[in-house]
């Protein structure tokens, strides 16, 4: 997610911050290039992402360079891409963050470049975004969206009034699983506070159980097997209120936008995508709309004291989300904190040499743990995400200690 959003739910190998400030915060005000990563080209091994060339640690294939970036796109029209939040020109719904591969091409040429530049005729190369597995971890039915440890299956748990829990199943491109694969999935829901366990029964393309009206926050644990002989996976859900499944979007009101591109080939057939819950945007009526302020994107400040204050705020928001069990939301402040840390790294030249040496390692640790928070948040495992947050918070503290105290 998200990102999405940034690198989705992939568990990343060690990432080292390069000299270029990352542009992976969805709302950007400066033209920056995302860092070059090296990914495995094998279908199913998309979670292998390294910071240098080499061979895939899973299949042995040569890694290929790519720039991964978080962009804003229509919930069900991924051909529409924007670098800032806004409204979809096709159906008017809020744009949602999604991770895509970015490259630059010349008109009529098949070869893509990882760098902007000019074409032989003198015209600038055009930016191109390509869909990527695990790039869209936005909830489709107002629930909490997680990725399974097999790095292919995805699921979403939603708790609807008056007390029904539903489990929706997806592939690695967030497309609903074919009916045959839904039938092969077995699951149960555990209610720790109530001391109850219920089977999840298939109802069309989702699994559900009547768990009753629970006291909020409603804590649930789903145990899921995607095949009879497959291992059982654990997912933690916490609901502060009932989920709201958005209705299907209205008919398009604008017809001058480009048509949606075909979806990439995936291991399983897919049915049409379901409605996606729109990501919050920083608008004047945010408070009135009930959107969590911690999910509102804000620009990176210009001064070091303001950056440090925002870094502390994002760190506190992450802790708050973990305490609430809102694991799928952690990626937003984590990646915002990541970009603030990278901006602080660019300011370290203002420090004495001994303090400069403290900044880069702390920023590197924060960047790595931000990706881990995103990954573990998508896996829905509280123990893993809590351990990653301890390292993240320690990196925040080290960054703060390297810079002079803000004036009171």
pLDDT tens-digit map of 57-112: 888 899 999 988 878 887 665 667 787 888 888 777 788 778 788 899 998 888 89
- 397 close to 371: Cβ distance less than 8 angstroms: no
29: confidence class by pLDDT, cuts 50, 70, 90: very low
Question: What does the alpha-carbon distance between residue 216 and residue 390 come to, in Å, rounded to a whole number?
Answer: 26
Range picked from 12-21, 72-81, 387-396 for highest mean pLDDT: 387-396
Inter-CA distances, 346 with 239, 278, 319, 351, 379, Å: 39, 33, 26, 11, 32
What are the beta bridge partners of residue 97? 72
Query: CA 110, CA 161: separation in Å to the nearest integer?
Result: 51
Contact, 145 vs 154, CB < 8 A?
yes
* Architecture of the domain made up of 144-239: Sandwich (2.60)
pTM passes above 0.75:
no
Residues 6+ apart with CB under 8 A from 376: 11, 327, 384, 385, 388
Q: What is the pLDDT of residue 296?
A: 55
Instruction: Tell me if 104 sits within 8 A of 67, measured CB to CB.
Output: no
Q: Domain residue spans in the chain?
A: 36-131, 144-239, 286-402
Give the containing element (helix H, strand E) for 310: helix 304-324
Express each pLDDT in 123-167 by its tens digit.
999 988 887 777 777 788 889 888 888 878 999 999 999 999 999
Average pLDDT, the chain: 77
Q: Which fold has domain 286-402?
A: 1.20.120
């Amino acid at each position: 997610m998200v990102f999405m959003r940034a690198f989705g739910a992939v568990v990343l190998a060690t990432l080292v911050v390069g000299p270029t400030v990352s542009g992976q915060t969805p709302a950007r005000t400066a033209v920056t290039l995302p860092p070059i990563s090296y990914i495995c080209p094998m279908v199913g091994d998309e979670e292998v992402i390294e910071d240098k060339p080499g061979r895939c640690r899973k299949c042995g294939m040569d890694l290929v360079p790519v720039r991964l970036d978080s962009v804003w796109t229509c919930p069900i029209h991924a051909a529409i891409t924007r670098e800032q939040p806004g409204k979809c020109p096709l159906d008017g719904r809020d744009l949602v963050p999604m991770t895509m591969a970015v490259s630059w091409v010349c008109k009529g040429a098949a070869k893509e470049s990882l760098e902007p530049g000019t074409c032989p005729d003198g015209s600038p190369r055009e930016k191109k975004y390509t869909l990527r597995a695990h790039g869209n971890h936005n909830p489709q039915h107002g629930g909490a969206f997680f990725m399974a440890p097999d790095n292919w299956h995805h699921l979403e748990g939603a708790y609807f009034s008056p007390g029904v829990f539903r489990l929706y199943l997806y592939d690695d491109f967030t497309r609903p699983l074919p009916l045959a694969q839904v039938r092969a999935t077995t699951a149960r829901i555990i209610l720790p506070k109530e001391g109850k366990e219920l089977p999840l029964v298939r109802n069309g393309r989702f699994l559900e159980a009547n768990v009753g009206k629970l006291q909020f926050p409603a804590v649930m644990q789903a145990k899921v097997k995607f095949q009879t002989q497959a291992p059982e996976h654990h997912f933690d859900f916490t609901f502060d209120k009932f989920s709201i499944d958005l209705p299907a979007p209205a008919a398009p009101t604008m017809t001058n936008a480009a048509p949606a591109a075909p979806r990439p080939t995936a291991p399983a057939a897919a049915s049409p995508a379901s409605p996606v819950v729109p990501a919050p945007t920083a608008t004047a009526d945010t408070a009135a709309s009930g959107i969590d302020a911690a999910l509102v994107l804000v620009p990176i400040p210009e001064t070091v004291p303001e950056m440090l204050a925002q870094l502390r705020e994002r760190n506190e928001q992450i802790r708050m989300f973990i305490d609430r069990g809102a694991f799928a939301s952690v990626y937003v402040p984590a990646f915002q904190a990541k970009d603030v840390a990278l901006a602080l790294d660019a300011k370290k030249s203002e420090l004495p040499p001994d303090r400069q040496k403290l900044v880069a390692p702390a920023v590197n640790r924060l960047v790595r743990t931000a990706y881990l928070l995103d990954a573990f948040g998508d896996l829905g495992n509280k123990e893993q995400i809590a351990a990653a947050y301890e390292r993240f918070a320690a990196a925040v503290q080290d960054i703060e200690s390297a810079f002079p105290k803000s004036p009171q």
